Structure 1
Amino acid sequence: MSPSVSVWPDHQLVDHFDRLPDSLLLLVFNKIGDVKALGRCCVVSRRFHSLVPQVENVVVRVDCVISDDDSSSSSSSSSASSSSDKSRNPFSNIFRFVFFGTIVKPFQFLTQFLGGPRRPSSSGLSSSSSSLFLAEDGEADQGGVTHHSPTQVLKNFNEVRFLRIELPSGELGIEDGVLLKWRADFGSTLDNCVILGASSVVYAAKNANDNCADGFCANNGGGGGGGDDNGSIPESFYTNGGLKLRVVWTISSLIAASARHYLLQPIISEHKTLDNLVLTDADGQGVLCMNRDQLEELRVKPLSASSASKRTQVPALNMRLWYAPQLELPGGITLKGATLVAIRPSEQSMVAMARKEVSDVSWVSTAFEEPYGTAAKMLVKRRTYCLEMNSF
C-alpha cells in the first residue's frame, strides 16, 4: 500500500489525513476502541494526540491480575492472610432452603460446606478476587515490564461513554468440564445476578445409559428437561454433594461480582460521561454490567464495603433456583446437573411481590448468549425452589 503522501507540482508534501475532519477521525478511533492501539495512535502526530482523549468507546484488555500480597511486606501478608481466613466462612447459618414458603432442608451444617480448604484457581491465585487489583501490561522498561491499572490508563480519556474492561480469565477456579457462568447488574449495590452452572457439559452423544448427573439418572424423553422427574430435585441431590456444590457456586460468584464492583469505584467517580460499563473476562465466566442510571446511583450513594475484604457488601437476598438432571440444547450440547439461580435483593423482591411481578423471569432468560440463553429459558419452565440469604 502506498503511503498517504502525494507530491504536488510545487513539490510540497501533503498529508491526506489533514483533509479529513476531526469527526471522521474520531469515528475511526471509536471503531478501534482498544486502549493500547489508541495509545500508539497518540504518538503518530500532535493532531492524533489531541483527538484520542475524546474517544467515547474504549476497551481495556487486562494482561495480568496481580495479588496485593505480591507487593506487601511479610507482616502485611500475614495480616492479609488472617483476614482472608476470617472471610472464608462468613456464611454460617444464613441460608434457608424453602419450596414456596415451606422449609424443606435445614442449613445448620452450611459451615461444614464452606469451612474446608478451597481449590485454587487455575491462575494459582485465591478464588476470591477481593484481594486483587487489575494491571495492564505497559511498555518494556529496562528489560522489565511496567504495569498500569485501568484507572491510570483511563485518566487520559475525557469523553468515555462506553467502557469495556476484560480480565485475562475468570476468578473462579473450576474443574475441567464444569460449566459456571454468571451475570450481575450493580448500582451502588447488587441489583440482580443470574448464575448458570452444570456439573458437566457433553458436546457429542454418548451411550444412552450414560445420562446420570448428581447421582440421579434421568430418562431423556425427548423433552430436554430430564424426562419424567416432574421438575423436582431428587433426594440424592441433597446427600451426594450436589446441593453443596451449588451453594459454593452461588456464594463464589457473588463474591467475585462484588469484588469486581469494588474495583470499579474510582473509574466511575472520575468518568462522569460514562453511559455503560462492562467488566468481563476472556473465559466468558462472569459479566458485570452497569447502565447510566446505575452508574449515577453509585456516584450519589457510595457503595458499602465489606469489612472482611475489598469488595462491595452483598445485601440480604431472595433467590430462585431451577434444576434439571439433564438438559439437551440445540447443536448436540447436553448439560448434566444443569442449575439456574436468579438473585435479587430482598427489598426488590418485596416490591415485585407487591406489584405481582414475581412470575416475571424475562430478565433471567435473557442473561446469557446462546446456547446458554436457551438453557435458561428451558430451566425457568421447571419447578421453582426459593432460597434466602442474609447480607454478607
Structure 2
Amino acid sequence: MDAFDAIPDPVVIDILNKVGDVKTLIRCRSVSKRFNSLATQSDSLLLQLDQILGTTTTTDSDSEIDSPISNFFRSLFKSIHGLLPPIFSKSVNPDQILTRSPKTPAQILSRFERIRNLEVELYGGDVKLEKGAAVKWKAEFGETLKSCVIVAYRSATVNTTASSAVDGGVTGVESDSEFVCGLKTRVVWTISALMAASTRHYLMKDLVKDHKEMEKLTVIDREGEGTVVMNAAGMKEYRETAAREIEKGVERVRERTVVPSVRMSMRHAPSLKLKSGICLEAATLVIVRPTGVVSDDDDVELATEAFAGDGGECMYGEAVTALLKRRRNVLEMNSF
C-alpha cells in the first residue's frame, strides 16, 4: 500500500492549506481522484490574477507547459484519456486547467466549496501618479465603503545627515498659493485611491455572493499599493443588499462600487523628515469615512491599525505616526 494513502484526509487538507496557491492546487487535482476531491476542500487560498485581462498571470512554468514537448505529451494524454473507463474519465483535464483559466475570480474558484480565508493578488496597482510620487492605502468594505486610510507623498529623498534628522520633523513653510495647489493634488490622490478601492470591491461581487462561508477576503496588488479588506459581517451585509436588489428587479451595470458621500480627515506636511533619514515632500495622511460618522476621535486607532504591518520601522509606518501629530483639516465629498 502507498504510505501516502494512510495519511488521514484532514491532515492532507491541512498540508494543502499551507500550499494555498490556487494554481498549484488546481494542478494537484489532476494527480489522482483523491487529490481531485481534497484539493478543492482547502479553506485558505491565494489567488493571483492578471488585473487587466482577468486571467492568471503567466509564469515560467506556464511557458514550459506550452513547449512542443509538453504539447506532445498532452496530446498523448488526451488520446489515452479517451480510452479510459468512465470512472476515470471524469477526472480533471489538465489541458483545460493549465492553459486557459476562467476570466473572473468567481469562475476560477467555483469548485472550491469551503473557502474561509482568501487573499487575491492583482498584477499591479491602479493609481496613476506623477513620476516620483507614491500612494499607499487600505480600505474596508461591507455593502459599501466603511473606511479608507491613505498615505501619499510627491517625492522621497535620502538625507545624508540622517543621524541629525528629527523623528517626524517638519521643515518649510507653505504659502497660500502652495497650500491651495497642494490641496488640489491631495484631493486627486484621495479620489484616485477611492476609485481603485471601489473597483477592486466590485470585482469581488460574485465571489462574495457564491462563497457564503468565507470569513475574510483581502485584495492586494504585487506593488503593495492598496489593500481592500472585507470581514464576515461586511460580506453578509453585501449579500443581503444584493439579494434585496434582485427581489426589486434592480439591475446595475457598472464597473465599480459607488463611493458614498464621505468625510475626509486630512493631515499633511510640506516636507517631512523621518528618523530613517528619508525626507518626504508633500507628505499626506487622509482618513476617509462615510458621511454621518460624527466623531473623528478614533483617527489614531484607525490609521495605526491600517499600517500595523509596517510597524514604525517602515517608512509608511513612520510617516503615519508623524502625520497624526499634525493639524487636521476636515473636508466632505459627494458620492461618485
**TM-score, with length taken from structure 2:** 0.79
Q: CA deviation at 1:146?
A: 2.3
Looking at structure 1, the residues matched to 305 and 202 of structure 2 have their Cα atoms a distance apart, in angstroms, of 25
Separation in 2 of the partners of 1:221 and 1:171?
33
Q: Which residue, out of 93, 107, 112, partners 1:157?
A: 112
In the other structure, the counterpart of 1:182 is: 137
1:329 is matched by which residue type in structure 2?
Answer: L
Higher strand content, 1 or 2: 1
SS at match of 1:266: helix
> Aligned residue for 1:214?
none
Pair 307,334 (structure 1): closer, same or farther in 2 beyond 3 Å: farther
Q: 1:236 deviation in Å?
A: 3.8
Look up the match of 1:321: 266
Please state how far the C-alpha of 1:330 moved relative to its aligned partner: 4.0
Residue in 2 aligned with 1:237?
178
Matched residue of 1:160: which SS?
coil
Secondary structure of 2:52's counterpart equals strand
Task: Tell me what 2:92 maps to.
Answer: none
Deviations 1:40-70 (A, max 9, x none): 111111111111111000100113522xxxx
Does the 8 Å CA contact 2:165/2:273 hold for their aligned counterparts? no
Which of 196, 209, 223 is equivalent to 1:256? 196
Note the 1:108-257 alignment, pairs <5 A: 134-137=54-57, 146-148=100-102, 149-202=104-157, 204-206=158-160, 222-227=166-171, 234-239=175-180, 241-257=181-197
* 1:333 match: 278
- The percentage of counterpart residues that share the same residue type is 39
CA RMSD of aligned residues (A): 2.8
Cα displacement (A) at 1:151? 1.4
Q: What 5-or-longer segments of structure 1 have no aligned partner?
A: 1-13, 67-133, 209-219
Aligned with 1:50 (options 37, 43, 47): 37
* Aligned match of 2:77: none
Equivalent residue number for residue 78 of structure 2: none
The one-letter code of the counterpart of 1:205 is: N
Given the alignment, which residue of 322, 325, 331 partners 1:378? 322
Q: If the length of structure 1 is used for normalisation, what is the TM-score?
A: 0.68
Q: Find the aligned partners of 1:64 and 1:346 in 2 and give their Cα distance.
A: 31
Work out the CA distance in 2 between the residues paired with 1:173 and 1:42. Answer: 39
Q: Once the two structures are superposed, what CA deviation does each residue of 1:203-236 show, in whole Å capped at 9, x if it has no partner?
A: x32589xxxxxxxxxxx9724231486xxx6424
Q: CA deviation at 1:326?
A: 2.2
Amino acid at match of 1:146: R
Residues 123 and 222, structure 2, Cα contact 8 Å, conserved in 1 = yes
Q: Does 1:312 align with 2:251?
A: no
- Corresponding residue of 1:91: none
Separation of aligned partners in 2, 1:17 and 1:145 = 29
Corresponding residue for residue 59 of structure 1 = 46
* 1:361, distance to aligned residue in structure 2 (A): 2.4
For these two proteins, the number of residue pairs brought into alignment is 290
Q: Where does structure 2 lack aligned partners over 5 or more consecutive residues?
A: 72-97
Letter in 2 for 1:267: L
| Match of residue 273, structure 1, among 213, 216, 225 | 213
Separation in structure 2 between the aligned mates of residue 171 and residue 23 of structure 1, nearest angstrom = 39
Any conservation in 2 of the 1:26–1:54 contact (CA below 8 Å)? yes
Which residue pairs with 1:127 in the alignment?
A: none
Compared CA separation, residues 322 and 137, structure 1 to 2 (3 A): closer
CA distance in structure 2 between the partners assigned to 1:255 and 1:317 by the alignment: 13
Name the residue aligned to 1:367: 306
CA distance in structure 1 between the partners assigned to 2:135 and 2:214 by the alignment? 29
Residues 296-311 of structure 1 aligned to structure 2 (within 5 Å):
296-302=236-242, 309-311=254-256
* Contact kept in structure 1, 2:165 and 2:274, CA below 8 Å: no
Q: Deviations over 1:250-272 (max 9, x none)?
A: 11111111111111110000001
| C-alpha contact 2:141 2:234 (8 A) present in aligned 1 | yes
**Separation in structure 2 between the aligned mates of residue 195 and residue 380 of structure 1, nearest angstrom:** 12
Aligned to 1:131: none
Report the CA distance shift for 1:237/1:228 in structure 2 as closer, same or farther (over 3 A): closer
Asked whether the 8 Å contact 1:136–1:150 carries over to 2, the reply is: no
The answer to whether the Cα contact below 8 Å between 2:218 and 2:227 also exists between their aligned partners in 1 is: yes
In 2, Cα distance between equivalents of 1:365 and 1:64:
28
